[in-house]
Amino acid sequence: MKKRALGRSGLEVSAIGLGCMGMSHAYFPLPDRNAMIGLLRAAVERGVTFFDTAEVYGPYTNEDLLGEALAPVRERVVIATKFGFDVANFPSVDSRPEHIRAVCDASLKRLRTGVIDLFYQHRPDPKVPIEDVAGTVRDLIAEGKVRHFGLSEAPPDTIRRAHAVQPVAALQSEYSLWTRDVEGGILGTLEELGIGLVPFSPLGRGYLTGRMDESTPLAANDFRSTLPRFTAEAREANKALVELLQATATRKGTTAAQIALAWLMAQRPWIVPIPGTTKLGRLEENLAAAEVVLDAEDLAGIRAAAEQIQVVGGRYSEAFQKTVGQTRG
């Protein structure tokens, strides 16, 4: 597996990481825990060194899963987790310094480790100055509990203010062919400051793989059933994006998922997507995207076609978006 540096932070990880949320959260029915331990260890064997979790996934069970699975190979991997939600009152946010410290200590125990490699603020907290958040993580780094500081879904001004207190290694935000909000101001800010980008949902929560259409059923407790972009009408309206990826994949001898990931990685050398999966075959398919080469003509064609497609449906429900805010590039 090829490696990539997350900006100028000195943090080097596999070119494609593994988003672990779906192994114990959001997508139902949940898979067998022992099977997921096996999948996590199989990912390490295949060169993955970058694993993403959060206390709110489960809640708590996802960190515990990673802790058990990765303990035997801890020195070979980079584990990212997150603070910033009030788990008992989700989706309310809480980035008070005392709460950050409590989350850090609890996450260390669940992850069975002495240090968190990358500690993200999961969402901005309008009640707490970002300088206080960055200062708290700076102190945790000084104490040896955290190695690197990250932000998630933060706008440019917040990134700059945080970075001035404690250098930000990575921003995690949704980015894919159907979610391009980070293009412009955010990408420019990251490039200027030397911060890496970790796109979550790089396959559009499964939609961009081409294995889902308007008739694909979603369980009532499936997270996607709450998202405007996953109504049957929106999935029907957005299929032009999938057809674009499939056409490119046919020409290149790959899959639509691999083109979606390769397109992301081609945007900047410091972009590291973290597709999630619970299946070994899909893991191997995703990792193979690191070897897919899209030339300038491919990239120009994809972007030109995508610019003509109007994506239908919001990323989140209005209620959730009011709570956590909206990232704009």
Q: Where are the alpha helices (DSSP H) in 112-238?
A: 130-142, 156-165, 185-193, 232-237
Element (H, E) at 78: strand 78-83
Residue 120 appears among annotated catalytic residues: no
Tokens standing for 292? Answer: 């897919």
Q: Is 268 exposed, middle or buried (0-12, 13-18, 19+ CB in 10 A)?
A: middle
CA distance 49 to 65: 16
CA distance 271 to 171: 10
Catalytic member of 27, 57, 120, 207: 57
The structure tokens 């992850």 sit at 111
Q: 189: number of CA atoms within 13 Å, CB side?
A: 23
Tokens standing for 187? Answer: 């990408």
CA distance 150 to 162: 9
Q: Residue 26 in contact with residue 19, Cβ under 8 Å? A: no
Q: Answer whether the bond into residue 29 is a cis peptide, omega within 30°.
A: yes
Among residues 7, 29, 5, the alpha carbon closest in space to that of 15 is found at 5
Q: Where are the beta strands (DSSP E) in the chain?
A: 3-5, 12-14, 18-19, 50-52, 78-83, 116-121, 146-152, 168-174, 196-200
Among residues 113, 54, 62, 112, the alpha carbon closest in space to that of 84 is found at 54
Q: Residue 43 in contact with residue 18, Cβ under 8 Å? A: yes
Among residues 27, 18, 30, the alpha carbon closest in space to that of 272 is found at 18
Active-site residue list: 57
